[in-house]
């Protein structure tokens, strides 16, 4: 079971949330671990451990409350941890977030390919639209091509303006977790 000991100082001002910082100015996340066996995933890829999905989900939810530009310090409180277990926990956390960063970067690339293809198809349909108007095609053909042109243009704008922004934000947060300082108490 995991417990977050402290993350935010309570303030009445909802616009400016003030989180605790360590001596280096990093956002401090104190987490108490009651059962150390629940931190690591029972599954391994190439004998490389990663953190458990529940633990990772809890960390992700805590990190969402921290500004993406803020560096992070993860302080774990757990009884009877050996130095090897501490090292394993740190490596498993880094590995999990490195894998998540790779997946986020791939998703961003897919979105950019979608944007480019949608823009190319939109330009193609707008040129076809101009051609149908120039050659006096039937009004139904003109309307179908007009709808296709605007649909592909909107898809490119939608992915670029909404999807890519959220993926970039997620990529920043995950990158912060890859670089986070991990200490034990």
Note the pLDDT of residue 151. Answer: 96
Chain Cα centroid distance, residue 74: 18
Query: Which structural domain, as residue segments, surrounds residue 125?
Result: 106-168
Q: Are residues 100 and 15 in the same domain?
A: yes
Angstrom CA distances, 89 to 51, 62, 100, 152, stand at 7, 18, 17, 46
Assess whether 17 and 83 both reside in one domain.
Answer: yes
pLDDT for the residue 17: 54
Do residues 90 and 46 share a domain?
yes
Same domain, 9 and 96: yes
CA angle at 48 for the pair 32 and 86, rounded to the nearest 5°:
30
User: What's the rounded Cα separation, in Å, for the pair 117 and 95?
Assistant: 33
Q: Are residues 112 and 86 in the same domain?
A: no
Examine the domain organization and report whether 95 and 113 are in the same domain: no
> What total number of domains does the chain contain?
2
pLDDT value of residue 18: 63
89 and 140, same domain (yes or no): no
Co-location of 71 and 112 in the same domain? no
Instruction: Please indicate, yes or no, whether residues 79 and 126 belong to a single structural domain of this protein.
Output: no
Which residue ranges in the chain fall short of pLDDT 50? 6-16
Same domain, 8 and 75: yes
Q: How many other CB atoms sit within 10 Å of the CB of residue 154?
A: 12
19 contacts 13 by C-beta, under 8 angstroms: no
Residues 123 and 145 in one domain: yes
Examine the domain organization and report whether 67 and 118 are in the same domain. no
């Amino acid at each position: 079971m995991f417990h977050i000991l402290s993350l935010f100082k309570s303030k009445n001002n909802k616009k400016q949330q003030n989180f605790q910082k360590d001596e280096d100015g990093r956002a401090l996340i104190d987490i108490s671990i009651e059962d150390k066996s629940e931190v690591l995933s029972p599954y391994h890829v190439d004998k490389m451990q990663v953190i458990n999905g529940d633990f990772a989900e809890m960390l992700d939810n805590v990190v969402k409350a921290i500004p993406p530009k803020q560096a992070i310090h993860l302080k774990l409180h757990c009884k009877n941890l050996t130095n090897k277990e501490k090292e394993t926990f740190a490596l498993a956390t880094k590995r999990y977030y490195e894998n998540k960063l790779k997946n986020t970067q791939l998703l961003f690339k897919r979105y950019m390919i979608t944007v480019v293809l949608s823009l190319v198809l939109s330009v193609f349909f707008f040129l076809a639209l101009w051609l149908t108007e120039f050659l006096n095609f039937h009004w139904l053909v003109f309307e179908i091509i007009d709808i296709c042109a605007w649909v592909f243009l909107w898809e490119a704008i939608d992915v670029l303006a909404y999807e890519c922004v959220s993926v970039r934000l997620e990529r920043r947060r995950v990158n912060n977790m890859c670089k986070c300082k991990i200490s034990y108490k």
